[in-house]
Amino acid sequence: MKMSDLVAEYIVRLLDETGGNAEIRRNELAGVLGCVPSQINYVITSRFTPEQGYIVESRRGGGGYIRITRVTADRRVAIMHIVNSIGDSISSSAAGIILGNMADQDMIDCHEQALMASAVSDKAYACVPQDLRDTLRASVMKNMLMTVVMLDR
């Protein structure tokens, strides 16, 4: 297992134990896990993002900390947050990551994930000019997610 996976697993376990809200001292955590502090930063910035359902606050200095909060919102609110974070374009890999995170957090089921992943895959856009694919993919993904929200009523 990679060090970044170990760091992420440790933080998720800490969040689970503390009810979804944890304060981390970067240097202390790096010492416990046997890695460099920059590895902690990398994991937090890449795996604990708003799109993945987390709020990260940091305070620098001697008494500094990183506070990670798992956002708990109902499915509709969480999906709308994701729709708003997509923007005007999205790559196939980014769309796949978002859908995977949504399935992991039980916002969508495995069937919804598979169908949406198929609809936003590079294969689905093979006949679309390269410079338009990510824009079209974002539009399709947002429309699918909005349909999920509308069906939840």
Domain-ending residue, one of 70, 90, 105 = 70
How distant, in Å, are the alpha carbons of 63, 74, 104, 111 from that of 25? 9, 30, 27, 39
The predicted pLDDT at position 78 comes to: 82
Residues 23 and 55 in one domain: yes
The C-alpha torsion from 79 through 81 and 86 to 92, rounded to 10°, is -30
Instruction: Give the model confidence (pLDDT) of 30-52 as tens digits.
Output: 899 999 988 998 999 888 887 67
Residues 56 and 116 in one domain: no
**Number of Cβ atoms within 10 Å of the Cβ of 108:** 22
Contacts of 46 (CB under 8 A, 6+ apart): 4
Domain-ending residue, one of 18, 43, 70 = 70
The predicted pLDDT at position 146 comes to: 95
Nearest to 56 by CA among 9, 103, 23, 29: 23
Residues 88 and 49 in one domain: no
How many structural domains are present in the chain?
2
Q: By residue range, what is the domain housing residue 56?
A: 3-70
Residues 106 and 140 in one domain: yes
Residues 86 and 144 in one domain: yes
The predicted pLDDT at position 63 comes to: 60
Residues 7 and 66 in one domain: yes
Residues 24 and 44 in one domain: yes
Q: Which two tokens stand for residue 26?
A: 């970067």
Residues 65 and 128 in one domain: no
Residues 137 and 82 in one domain: yes
| Cβ 46 vs Cβ 56: under 8 Å | no
Residues 86 and 146 in one domain: yes
The predicted pLDDT at position 119 comes to: 97
The predicted pLDDT at position 43 comes to: 92
The predicted pLDDT at position 136 comes to: 97
At which residue do the structure tokens 């994701």 appear? 82
Buried b (16+ CB within 10 A) or exposed e, 45-77: eebbeeebbbeeeeeeeeeebbebbbeeeeeee
Domain-ending residue, one of 70, 90, 120 = 70
Residues 19 and 64 in one domain: yes
Its pTM surpasses 0.85: no
Residue ranges of the chain with pLDDT lower than 70?
51, 61-63, 72-73
Residues 58 and 104 in one domain: no
